[in-house]
C-alpha cells in the first residue's frame, strides 16, 4: 500500500535491517517552556504597581522610606554614643569613689588599730576590767575617749567581756545591751586577732570598727572596740568627686530607733529615705530622689557595682551603686553616687535636631528630582508593555490550537499522547510520554529509532511486526512491551494508536496513547506468585463466599488431604467438611467476623475426608473484603501429629506425676504424696489420727552382708506387707530410705494400740532370700493427733522423738510420744546451744594419755582426748556432750579445734625434744562426712609445722559399715599417702567383716577395752585378743590395746606379742602442763638409762 511519505515506513523497515541503531533524527518540535510560578514578592509588586503600569508612586515611597531610615539610624547612633560617654563618666566616678573609700578605710583603720594597741597596754584599764569595776573603768576611759575623739575622730569606744557582753560603752554609758553580735566582734572572737571592718555602729550608722582581743598576762579578759562613723569621710568624698553620695542599708540590719532624727513624712525632701528593702542617707544637704529606693530594691541581690538611669520629676539622673560588705563578706547595703545628666542630654538633643533639619531640606530637593525622573521612566514602561501584550496575544492563539490537539489525545487516553505526521515526518510527544521514557524533552528525539533503542531486546520484534502489519492494512494497532529507561529501570507499556487518512484513504498522520502499565503487570505477577504459593502451601487453604459459604478455591494440599477434586469441593459448603458443625452453628460462629467485632477466629475441630475418615485440624479464619465480594479465608493445619505428641506428653506427665508421688520399688506413695495427703486430714480436731514413723532395724547391715539386691527385696516385701496391713482409711507411705510413715484414724487408746500392733506384727514374719532367712524387726515412734500436735510438721517431730527412744531402748519395739521425750530433746538443744558458746569462749580443752610399748616401755604415742570446761557444771567428759556434737553441725568445728590443739602440743613437745611418738586424734564420723576433714588436717599441719608421720587418726569401724562411700575412703587414702598413721579404733565391737581390713588404708588396730577387761576372767576373750594380734601381725599393721589397769593384764599381753598398750596403769589422762611434765620425766629417765 502506497503512503504519501515513506520515511515512517523506512524507519520501521530500516531498523529491521540495521542493528544496532546508530542514527539520531533531528527536526523534533521543541516543547513549550512553562512559566515559573510567581513568588509572593512578585505578586505584591504587581499589585503595588498596578501590574507594572504605575511605578512612579512606589519609587517615591521607596526614596522617602530610605531617607527616614537613614535619619533614624543617624539619630539613634548619636544618642547611643552620647549615652555611652555619659555612663562611662559616671562609672569612672563610681570606681574613683570605691577606691577612695577603700583607701580611707585603710588609713583610718591603721590609726584606730594603733589607738587600740595603746589602750590594751593600759594597766589601770586592765585591772578595772578584770575586777569588773565599771565605775573605775569609766573614769579611766572617758579622758582617753575624748583624746582619741579629737585625734582620730572616733565616735564609739566599747569594753566587752569574753562572753561578748558589753561592760561599758564609753560614748554612751547608759547603753546596756544583753550582748553584742556585730560582725567585727564575732570575727575577732573566732580568730583571736585584731579585726577591722565596716559595720553598723551603736547609732545605726555606717561605722569603721576595730576590735582587738584584750590579753593581760596571757589571759583573755575581754575585747576592746573603737569605731568611727563614716559620715564625715563620705561628705569629703562627695565634695571631692562633686557628686551626691548616698548610703543605703538593708532594713533588717539596722535599728532606726537609735538614729537621732529621721523624717519619714516627706521622704523626697529629706536627707533620709526608707524604701521597701533599704534605708537611705545622703551626705550633704541634697535630698534623696524617691525613685532611687525602687532602683535599689530592683538590685537588692547584686554582688557587684551597678549603674542605672532613671527619671525623677523632670530630671534625668544616673546612679552608680557599690555593694557594702561587712567583715564576713556579706552585703549590708550600697554606697551610691548620684549625678544629674538632664542638662547634658538637652544640649545633645538640640544639636541632633539641627542636624536633622538640614538633612530634611536636602532630602526635599532630592525627592523633587526623583519624582520627575520616575514619571518619565513610567511613561516608557507603559508603552513597552502595550507592545509586548499584543505579541503575547498572537502566541496565545497558537497555544490554544496546541491545547486542542492535547484534548484530542486525552480523549483516547489520559496518560500520555503522541502523534507523528507521516507527510512531514514531524513528531510530537506530550509531557507524560517524556516522563514515561525517562528522557529530557530538551535532548530527546521522538523517533521510531529512539523508541526502539529503549525497547527491551526481547520485545523489539513484537513492535516491528505489529507496525508492519498496521501499515499494510492501515488499521488501528496496539501492543504491550517493555522499555529500559536511562536509569536502568524496566517499565511495561501498553500502546494503542490509529492512522488518520486523507481523502484518498492514505494515512497522513498516526495518533496514539502510551499507558504505563508497570504496576498492573507487577500486581498480576504478585497475584500469580501468590496463587502458586497458596497452591504449594503445606497448609490446607480454603476460600469460600461470605454469604453462601460455598467454596470458590481450594489449594492442592486441601484437595489431597480430603480426597475431593476442585469441582466436588465447589459444590460443597464449609460445614460439609466439619462433622462437629451444622449450618446454623457455623453461621453463628462467623457472626463476629461479619460484624467486625474481631479480625480472625482461631479454633480446633475435626475434618472428614471423602472416605469418611477424620483428622483433627487447627483453623484460622479471616474475612477478606479488599476486592470484589467478601470471602472467607480459612488456613487449616492438620494437627494429627501434634495431637499424638500431646497425648504422649500427657501420658509422660501422668508417668512423671506417678514418679513424683509414687515409689516404684515398694509400690507405696512417697514422701511428697504424704505431705500432699495429710494436710486435709487435720482440719477436724474431733477425728484422732496416729502418725507412725517406722524404721527398718539393721537395714544397712543387710545391704552390706547380703547385697543391695537383698535390700531391695526387703523393701519390696515391706511395701506389700504395709499395703495389706493398712487398708483404707489407713495410709502407708515410704518416707525415704528404710523409713516409712503410716497415717491411721483411730478412736481411743485401745484402737491406737491395736493399729500399732497390727503394723508391728505384719513386719515380723521371716523373709527368704536366695537360701538365707531375713528376720525383719522394726522400730516405731507414734504421735497422736490432736493430743501431740495440730500440724503435720509438729507431729512428725514428736513421732521422730518416739522413734529415737525405741532405737535407744534396743530397737524392735514401738513407743508413743511422751512429754519427757520433748524434755530430753530440749535438754539436748540446751547442750547444743551451750556448745556453740563453748566454741566461742574456748571452753573445750584436751587431756592426753600415753601409749607405750609393752616390752620396752618406750612412748609410742599420745592420745588427745576432748573435755569441756562448762562454766556451771565443771569439767565434762565426752560422753556428756559428744552425742550432741555428732547430731549437730558442730562436729567439723570441734574436730578442727581438736586438730589445732593436738598439733600445737606436738609442736611444743618436738621443740622441747620430748619423745612422744605420734599424737593421736579421734575422727568424728560427721566431720569426715562434712567433707572438710582433709583440709582441716592439712591446715593444722601447715600451721604448726608438724610432720604427717607424727600424727595418728583413729577411725571407728562403724564409719565404713554405716556409709562405705568411696569419698570417705579416698580422704583416708590421701592422708595415708601423705604419711599420716590411720588406726581402726574399738576394733571388735562393730560388725566389720575381715575383708575390710585388707581394703581399708589402715596402719593399726586398737583393741577395745571391753576385751582387755575380760582378758583374765574369760578364756574366749583371751582367744579373741590373741587372734586379733596375730591377724594384725599377718597384715603387717600395728596394735594398741587400751584399758590396761593391772600388772597381770600386762604380763598376759606381753606373752602374746610386741605392741603398744594404753590405760590407767600407765598414766591417767592429764591436761597439757601435767602431761608435759610426765613426758619430760619419762624422756629423761630413758635417756639416763641409755647412758
pLDDT band at 963 (very low <50, low <70, confident <90, very high): low
Res 1070: pLDDT: 95
Whether pLDDT at 989 is above 70 = no
Residue 874's φ and ψ, nearest 5 degrees, are: 80, -160
pLDDT digits (tens, 9 = 90+) for 531-570: 777 777 778 899 999 999 999 889 988 898 899 999 999 9
Residue 154's φ and ψ, nearest 5 degrees, are: -70, 150
Sheet with 600-608, edge to edge strand ranges? 551-554, 540-545, 631-638, 614-624, 600-608
Q: Which helix (H) or strand (E) holds 738?
A: none
Res 877: pLDDT: 85
- The gap from C-alpha 507 to its chain's centroid, in whole angstroms, comes to 84
Cis peptide before 786 (omega within 30 of 0): yes
Question: What three-state secondary structure class fits 422?
Answer: coil
Question: What three-state secondary structure class fits 272?
Answer: strand
Res 253: pLDDT: 62
Pairing of strands 767-769, 739-746: unpaired
Domains delineated in the chain: 85-343 (3.30.450.20), 413-521 (3.30.450.20), 537-638 (3.30.450.20), 649-817 (3.30.70.270), 845-1090 (3.20.20.450)
Distances (CA, A) of 40 to 33, 37, 44, 46, 593: 21, 10, 6, 10, 54
Residue 905's φ and ψ, nearest 5 degrees, are: -65, -45
Average pLDDT of the chain, as a whole number: 82
Please give the Cα distance from 827 to 830 (Å, whole number): 5
Whether pLDDT at 37 is above 70 = no
Output the nine-digit C-alpha cell for 787.
Answer: 493430743
Average pLDDT over residues 876-888: 83
Res 975: pLDDT: 93
Res 568: pLDDT: 92
For the chain, what percent of residues have pLDDT higher than 90? 27
Q: What is the pTM of this model?
A: 0.37
If 0-12 CB within 10 Å is exposed, 13-18 middle and 19+ buried, where does residue 977 land?
A: exposed
Report the sign of the C-alpha dihedral through residues 431, 435, 441, 446, in that order: negative
- The gap from C-alpha 359 to its chain's centroid, in whole angstroms, comes to 75
For the chain, what percent of residues have pLDDT higher than 70? 86
Please give the Cα distance from 22 to 1000 (Å, whole number): 106
Residue 1084's φ and ψ, nearest 5 degrees, are: -65, -40
Q: CA angle 363-366-371, nearest 5°?
A: 120
Please give the Cα distance from 779 to 266 (Å, whole number): 114
- The gap from C-alpha 961 to its chain's centroid, in whole angstroms, comes to 54
Q: Which helix (H) or strand (E) holds 669?
A: strand 668-669
pLDDT digits (tens, 9 = 90+) for 588-630: 999 999 998 999 999 999 999 999 999 999 999 999 887 678 9
Q: Where are the alpha helices (DSSP H) in 689-748?
A: 699-706, 708-725
Average pLDDT over residues 672-700: 85
Q: Which has the minimum average pLDDT: 86-90, 640-644, 808-812, 947-951?
A: 86-90
Q: Which residues 6+ apart lie within 8 Å of 261 measured at CB?
A: none
Q: Which of 208, 206, 185, 207 is nearest to 195 (CA)?
A: 185
Cα end-to-end distance, the chain, whole Å: 155
Output the nine-digit C-alpha cell for 684.
Answer: 477436724
pLDDT digits (tens, 9 = 90+) for 990-1033: 544 455 676 778 899 999 888 888 888 888 888 888 888 988 88
Residue 1057's φ and ψ, nearest 5 degrees, are: 160, -170
Please give the Cα distance from 263 to 273 (Å, whole number): 8
Most confident option among 81-95, 122-136, 794-808? 794-808
Please give the Cα distance from 1030 to 1024 (Å, whole number): 10
Q: Which helix (H) or strand (E) holds 551?
A: strand 551-554
Most confident option among 40-49, 297-306, 538-547? 538-547
Res 591: pLDDT: 93
Res 53: pLDDT: 62
Please give the Cα distance from 594 to 247 (Å, whole number): 89
Please give the Cα distance from 203 to 180 (Å, whole number): 14
Residue identified by cell 483411730 is: 746
pLDDT band at 694 (very low <50, low <70, confident <90, very high): very high
Q: Which has the minimum average pLDDT: 146-150, 163-167, 652-656, 789-793?
A: 652-656
Please give the Cα distance from 421 to 446 (Å, whole number): 12
Res 525: pLDDT: 80
Contact in structure between 1028 and 1014 (CB atoms under 8 Å): no
Res 770: pLDDT: 87
Beta bridge partners of 261: none
Provide DSSP, 198-212. EEE-TTSSEEEEEEE
Provide DSSP, 756-809. HHHHHHHT-S-EEETTEEE---EEEEEEEETTT-SSHHHHHHHHHHHHHHHHHT
Pairing of strands 778-785, 1038-1042: unpaired
pLDDT band at 19 (very low <50, low <70, confident <90, very high): very low
Please give the Cα distance from 971 to 965 (Å, whole number): 10
- The gap from C-alpha 709 to its chain's centroid, in whole angstroms, comes to 56
Res 26: pLDDT: 33
If 0-12 CB within 10 Å is exposed, 13-18 middle and 19+ buried, where does residue 488 land?
A: exposed
Contact in structure between 779 and 814 (CB atoms under 8 Å): yes
- The gap from C-alpha 317 to its chain's centroid, in whole angstroms, comes to 63
Q: How many residues does this entry show for the chain?
A: 1091
Res 848: pLDDT: 97
Res 994: pLDDT: 59
Q: Is 920 left (phi over 0), alpha (psi -120 to 50) or beta?
A: beta
Distances (CA, A) of 420 to 428, 691, 830: 6, 112, 119
pLDDT digits (tens, 9 = 90+) for 168-196: 888 878 766 544 557 778 888 888 888 88
CA torsion angle 482 484 485 489 (round to 10): 90
Distances (CA, A) of 187 to 164, 192, 201, 219, 756: 12, 8, 16, 19, 95
Amino acid at each position: 500500500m502506497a503512503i504519501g511519505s515513506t520515511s515512517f515506513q523506512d524507519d520501521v523497515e530500516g531498523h529491521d535491517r540495521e542493528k544496532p541503531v546508530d542514527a539520531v533524527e533531528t527536526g523534533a518540535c521543541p516543547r513549550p517552556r512553562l512559566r515559573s510560578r510567581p513568588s509572593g514578592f512578585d505578586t505584591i509588586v504587581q499589585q503595588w504597581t498596578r501590574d507594572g503600569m504605575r511605578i512612579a508612586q512606589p519609587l517615591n515611597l521607596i526614596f522617602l522610606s530610605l531617607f527616614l531610615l537613614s535619619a533614624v539610624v543617624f539619630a539613634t547612633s548619636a544618642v547611643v554614643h552620647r549615652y555611652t560617654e555619659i555612663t562611662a563618666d559616671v562609672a569612672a566616678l563610681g570606681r574613683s569613689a570605691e577606691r577612695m573609700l577603700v583607701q580611707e578605710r585603710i588609713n583610718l583603720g591603721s590609726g584606730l588599730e594603733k589607738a587600740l594597741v595603746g589602750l590594751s597596754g593600759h594597766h589601770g584599764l586592765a585591772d578595772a576590767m578584770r575586777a569588773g569595776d565599771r565605775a573605775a573603768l569609766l573614769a579611766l576611759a572617758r579622758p582617753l575617749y575624748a583624746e582619741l575623739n579629737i585625734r582620730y575622730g572616733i565616735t564609739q569606744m566599747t569594753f566587752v567581756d569574753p562572753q561578748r557582753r558589753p561592760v561599758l560603752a564609753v560614748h554612751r554609758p547608759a547603753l546596756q545591751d544583753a550582748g553584742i553580735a556585730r560582725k567585727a566582734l564575732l570575727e575577732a572572737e573566732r580568730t583571736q586577732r585584731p579585726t577591722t571592718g565596716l559595720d553598723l555602729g551603736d547609732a545605726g550608722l555606717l561605722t569603721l570598727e576595730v576590735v582587738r582581743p584584750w590579753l593581760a598576762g596571757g589571759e583573755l579578759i575581754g575585747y576592746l572596740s573603737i569605731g568611727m562613723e563614716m559620715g564625715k569621710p563620705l561628705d569629703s568624698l562627695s565634695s571631692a568627686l562633686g557628686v551626691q553620695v548616698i548610703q543605703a542599708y538593708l532594713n533588717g540590719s539596722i535599728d532606726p530607733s537609735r538614729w537621732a532624727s529621721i523624717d519619714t513624712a516627706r521622704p523626697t525632701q529629706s536627707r533620709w529615705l526608707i524604701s521597701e528593702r533599704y534605708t537611705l542617707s545622703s551626705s550633704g544637704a541634697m535630698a534623696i530622689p524617691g525613685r532611687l529606693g525602687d532602683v535599689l530594691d530592683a538590685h537588692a541581690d547584686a554582688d557587684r557595682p551597678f549603674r542605672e538611669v532613671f527619671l525623677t520629676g523632670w530630671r534625668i539622673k544616673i546612679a552608680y551603686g557599690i555593694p557594702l560588705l561587712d567583715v564576713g563578706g556579706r552585703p549590708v547595703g550600697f554606697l551610691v553616687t548620684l549625678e544629674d545628666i538632664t542638662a547634658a542630654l538637652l544640649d545633645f538633643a538640640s544639636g541632633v535636631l539641627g542636624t536633622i533639619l538640614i538633612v530634611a531640606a536636602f532630602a526635599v530637593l532630592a525627592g523633587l528630582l526623583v519624582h520627575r525622573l520616575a514619571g518619565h521612566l513610567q511613561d516608557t514602561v507603559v508603552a513597552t508593555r502595550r507592545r509586548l501584550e499584543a505579541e503575547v496575544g498572537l502566541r496565545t492563539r497558537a497555544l490554544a490550537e496546541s491545547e486542542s490537539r492535547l484534548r484530542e489525545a486525552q480523549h483516547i487516553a489520559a496518560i500520555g499522547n503522541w502523534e507523528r505526521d507521516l507527510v512531514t515526518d514531524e513528531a510530537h510527544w506530550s509531557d507524560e510520554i517524556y516522563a514515561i521514557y525517562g528522557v529530557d524533552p530538551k535532548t530527546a528525539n521522538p523517533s521510531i529509532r529512539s523508541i526502539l533503542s529503549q525497547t527491551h531486546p526481547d520485545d523489539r520484534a513484537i513492535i516491528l511486526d505489529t507496525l508492519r502489519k498496521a501499515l499494510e492494512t492501515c488499521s488501528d494497532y496496539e501492543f504491550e512491551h517493555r522499555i529500559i529507561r536511562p536509569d536502568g529501570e524496566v517499565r511495561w507499556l501498553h500502546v494503542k494508536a490509529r492512522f488518520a487518512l486523507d481523502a484518498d484513504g492514505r494515512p497522513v498522520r498516526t495518533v496514539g496513547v502510551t499507558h504505563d502499565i508497570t504496576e498492573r503487570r507487577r500486581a498480576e505477577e504478585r497475584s500469580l506468585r501468590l496463587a502458586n504459593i497458596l497452591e504449594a502451601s503445606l497448609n490446607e487453604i480454603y476460600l469460600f463466599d461470605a454469604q453462601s459459604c460455598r467454596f470458590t478455591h481450594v489449594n492442592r494440599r486441601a484437595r489431597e488431604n480430603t480426597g475431593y477434586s476442585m469441582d466436588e469441593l465447589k459444590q460443597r459448603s464449609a460445614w460439609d467438611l466439619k462433622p462437629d458443625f451444622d449450618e446454623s452453628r457455623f453461621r453463628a460462629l462467623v457472626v463476629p467476623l461479619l460484624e467486625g467485632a474481631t479480625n480472625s477466629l482461631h479454633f480446633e475441630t475435626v475434618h472428614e475426608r471423602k472416605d469418611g475418615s477424620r483428622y483433627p485440624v487447627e483453623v484460622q479464619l479471616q474475612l477478606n473484603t479488599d476486592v470484589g465480594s467478601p470471602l472467607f479465608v480459612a488456613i487449616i493445619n492438620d494437627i494429627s501429629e501434634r495431637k499424638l505428641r500431646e497425648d504422649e506428653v500427657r501420658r509422660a506427665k501422668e508417668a512423671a506425676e506417678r514418679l513424683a508421688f509414687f515409689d516404684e520399688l515398694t509400690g507405696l506413695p512417697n514422701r511428697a504424696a504424704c505431705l500432699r495427703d495429710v494436710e486435709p486430714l487435720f482440719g477436724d480436731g474431733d477425728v484422732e489420727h496416729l502418725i507412725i514413723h517406722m524404721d527398718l532395724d539393721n537395714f544397712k547391715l543387710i545391704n552390706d552382708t547380703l547385697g543391695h539386691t537383698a535390700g531391695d527385696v526387703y523393701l519390696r516385701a515391706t511395701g506389700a506387707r504395709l499395703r495389706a496391713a493398712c487398708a483404707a482409711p489407713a495410709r502407708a507411705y515410704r518416707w525415704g530410705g528404710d523409713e516409712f510413715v503410716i497415717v491411721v484414724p483411730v478412736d481411743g487408746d485401745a484402737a491406737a494400740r491395736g493399729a500399732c500392733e497390727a503394723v508391728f506384727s505384719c513386719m515380723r514374719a521371716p523373709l527368704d532370700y536366695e537360701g538365707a532367712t531375713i528376720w525383719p524387726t522394726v522400730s516405731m515412734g507414734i504421735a497422736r493427733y490432736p493430743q501431740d500436735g495440730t500440724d503435720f510438721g509438729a507431729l512428725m517431730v514428736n513421732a521422730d522423738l518416739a522413734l529415737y527412744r525405741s532405737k535407744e531402748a534396743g530397737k524392735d519395739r514401738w513407743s508413743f510420744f511422751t512429754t519427757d521425750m520433748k524434755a530430753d530433746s530440749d535438754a539436748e538443744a540446751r547442750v547444743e546451744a551451750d556448745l556453740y558458746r563453748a566454741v566461742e569462749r574456748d571452753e573445750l580443752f584436751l587431756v592426753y594419755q600415753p601409749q607405750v610399748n609393752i616390752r620396752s616401755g618406750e612412748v609410742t604415742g599420745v592420745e588427745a582426748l576432748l573435755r569441756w570446761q562448762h562454766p556451771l557444771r565443771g569439767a565434762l567428759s565426752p560422753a556428756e556432750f559428744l552425742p550432741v556434737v555428732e547430731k549437730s553441725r558442730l562436729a567439723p568445728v570441734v574436730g578442727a579445734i581438736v586438730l589445732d590443739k593436738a598439733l600445737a602440743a606436738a609442736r611444743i613437745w618436738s621443740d622441747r625434744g620430748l619423745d612422744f611418738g605420734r599424737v593421736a586424734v579421734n575422727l568424728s564420723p560427721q566431720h569426715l562426712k562434712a567433707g572438710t576433714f582433709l583440709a582441716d588436717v592439712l591446715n593444722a599441719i601447715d600451721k604448726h609445722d608438724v610432720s604427717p608421720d607424727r600424727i595418728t587418726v583413729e577411725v571407728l569401724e562403724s564409719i565404713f559399715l554405716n556409709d562405705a562411700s568411696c569419698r570417705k575412703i579416698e580422704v583416708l587414702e590421701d592422708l595415708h599417702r601423705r604419711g599420716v598413721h590411720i588406726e581402726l579404733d574399738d576394733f571388735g565391737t562393730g560388725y566389720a567383716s575381715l575383708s575390710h581390713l585388707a581394703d581399708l588404708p589402715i596402719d593399726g588396730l586398737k583393741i577395745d577395752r571391753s576385751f582387755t577387761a575380760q582378758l583374765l576372767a574369760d578364756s574366749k576373750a583371751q582367744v579373741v585378743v590373741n587372734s586379733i594380734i596375730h591377724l594384725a601381725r599377718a597384715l603387717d599393721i600395728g596394735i594398741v590395746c587400751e584399758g590396761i589397769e593391772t600388772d597381770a593384764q600386762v604380763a598376759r599381753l606381753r606373752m602374746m606379742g610386741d605392741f603398744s598398750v594404753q590405760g590407767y596403769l600407765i598414766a591417767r589422762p592429764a591436761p597439757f602442763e601435767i602431761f608435759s611434765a610426765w613426758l619430760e620425766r619419762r624422756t629423761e629417765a630413758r635417756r639416763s638409762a641409755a647412758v
